[in-house]
Chains A and B, each alone.
Chain A
Amino acid sequence: MTQAEPQVVDFPLRRPGAPFPPPGYAGYRGRQGLVLSRLPNGDRVWLVTRHEDVRAVLTDPRISSNPEHPGFPNVGESLGVPKQDQIPGWFVGLDSPEHDRFRKALIPEFTVRRVRAMRPAIERTVDERLDAMLAAGDSADLVADFALPVPSLVISALLGVPPADRDFFESRTRTLVAIRASTDQQRDAAAKDLLRYISRLVAIKQKWPADDLVSRLLAAGTIAPHELSGVLMLLLIAGHETTANNIALGVVTLLENPEWIGDDRAVEETLRFHSVADLVSLRVAVEDVEISGQLVRAGEGIVPLVAAANHDDNSFECPHMFDPSRSARHHVAFGYGVHQCLGQNLVRVEMEIAYRKLFERIPTLALAVPAEGLSFKHDGVVHGLHALPVRW
């Protein structure tokens, strides 16, 4: 194999808004091997853009999820997002077999059946948010008033946060994800507030167990109480902005393609189409490994771009088209391999209920600004909208 010095590109690319992903990805997919890129902090990482290659990277045991390995891509910080502290129980950053102890303890809580049982509670939450929006007038910011609170309220119910505390919980998680509206200090303070609250919740459930996730995990005993706080923070953070952004972007897409309103297949297609977690699955090689003919040395960072993979025309016909009738289930919007999203079945139900109720109860819903005027999160790890002004 001859290896000429590869051409280095700057990364992340600016997302042009809709249509996402950045048009530059198509050019990357057409190149041989992988694409060497330079992060704003100067680090060099390999970009992986083809569907088949992303799946291969995410299932290769020589490739690690642990940010403590030297060379792990620091995409978050380069975008101005503070680095997530390595708190015990943050198992998305652990490799097998350490990772598996946490995952195995949690999967009974997220089975298809268990999530179905949460339907009535999710429907109630969605209805309450819509009641509040309708009571407040004939316009709203669908991000702040609907897309952000719904997943936060669903997760706090799942964790067993008492109803009286859910507003506190929601306000702190909102600060945590607001890139523009909050400063680093405010985000830091919100994260500390939440961690403190969660530790207290764990202590309360230790004393007074009830029929909820925290009590069951404590009873099972495979996760220590001090690790449990990290696990709960992960559930909260992993499941909040991702779901919120996907709901909001999906509403825009449905308003642009109204023939798909009311069709539940739109859920899977919005996941593929928007691929909000494009920069979430970060990796580092811990041994030399060859991917798509490219030698990646131990200690080199790898960024599998799920949005690029989900728009690969070798795996999806006319990928730039929003077409819920396609069979899109092999998309990698939730990642692939042992870290594939634990909350995916919850997300599917949540999004289905959110879209159905929103358009049923507000059939005249429309954008309050021209679509070209929407403000996208170019600067976030998770793709989304800063705000979504709507009226009815």
Chain B
Amino acid sequence: MRITADTNRCVGAGQCVLTAPQVFDQDDDGLVTLLLADPGAGEEATVRLAAGLCPSGAVTVHED
């Protein structure tokens, strides 16, 4: 599983950070930034949840 986060779409709601703080963070501008682009198997469920909760579609999970 690979994740990408699009700062142009991000509206800084922070849903991702609340859900998976070990994977997502907010930078000084409040925009999403990835701490891990390739999360381990243990994180997959929370990462999927975070992507689903993001209100602006900024987080994409790639199944490759």
Contact = CB atoms under 8 A, between A and B. Distances in A.
Q: Do A and B come from one complex?
A: yes
Interface of A: 58-59, 100, 103-104, 107-114, 329-330, 334-338, 340-342, 344-345
Interface of B: 11-15, 17-19, 21, 26, 28-31, 49, 52-53, 55-57
Contact of B56 (A329, A334, A337): A337
A329 B21 CA distance: 15
A337 B19 CA distance: 17
Contacts of A341: 13
6 contacts: A104-B29, A110-B30, A330-B52, A336-B55, A340-B11, A345-B18
Chain A residues touching B, majority SS:
helix
Contacts of A340: 11, 13, 55-56
For A108, A112, A334, the residue with the greatest tally of chain B CB atoms inside 10 Å of its CB is A112
A115 B56 CA distance: 21
A329 B31 contact: no
B28 A108 contact: yes
A344 B53 contact: no
Contacts of B21: 112
Given A104-B29, A108-B28, A113-B26, A338 B17 contact: no
A58 B11 CA distance: 14
A336 B56 CA distance: 8
B17 A112 contact: yes
A338 B55 contact: yes
B12 A329 contact: no
A111 B12 contact: yes
Nearest to B31: A107
For A334, A335, A338, the residue with the greatest tally of chain B CB atoms inside 10 Å of its CB is A338
Contacts of A108: 12, 28-30
A329 B17 contact: no
Nearest to A348: B18
Nearest to A59: B57
Nearest 10 CB-CB pairings of A with B:
A107-B12, A107-B30, A340-B55, A108-B30, A111-B26, A112-B14, A112-B17, A111-B30, A336-B55, A340-B13
Contacts of B29: 104, 107-108
B52 A103 contact: no
Nearest to A345: B14
Nearest to B30: A107
A267 to B, nearest CB: 12
A330 B54 CA distance: 9
Contacts of A111: 12, 14, 17, 26, 30
A107 B32 CA distance: 11
B49 A329 contact: yes
